[in-house]
Amino acid sequence: MNRMKISVPGIDPAYLNYETAKEHLYIRLCSPKENRDFLKNVPHTSVQDMEATYHLLLPGDGNGITSIIVDHEVFGHFNTVKCS
């Protein structure tokens, strides 16, 4: 399959490859009731009464955390099993 190249300004495209990204992935839990609209746009997994969303920790400048939300487009480029 020929995938369209995506880019995120200021982010190394290597992080859009699952083999590179997998060591930088982390999850965050959120309330499905309070985040209904947000959850429509991102892959997520039910964990009891919460929803787990996926995020990618990126190298930063040392002043806090630099991360992106793994949305459906990025997730699709990881070529993994699709979540909800």
Full domain range(s) for residue 58: 13-77
Separation of alpha carbons 15 and 21, rounded Å: 5
pTM confidence score: 0.75
72 is a domain residue: yes
- Confidence band for 1, pLDDT divided at 50, 70 and 90: very low
Domain count, the chain: 1
Closest CA relative to residue 10, chosen from 55, 56, 60: 60
pLDDT tens by residue, 51-63: 999 999 887 777 8
pLDDT tens by residue, 3-50: 445 555 556 778 778 888 889 999 999 999 999 999 999 999 999 999
3 is a domain residue: no
Instruction: Say if residues 59 and 20 touch (Cβ distance below 8 Å).
Output: no
62 is a domain residue: yes
Closest CA relative to residue 77, chosen from 57, 61, 56, 47: 56
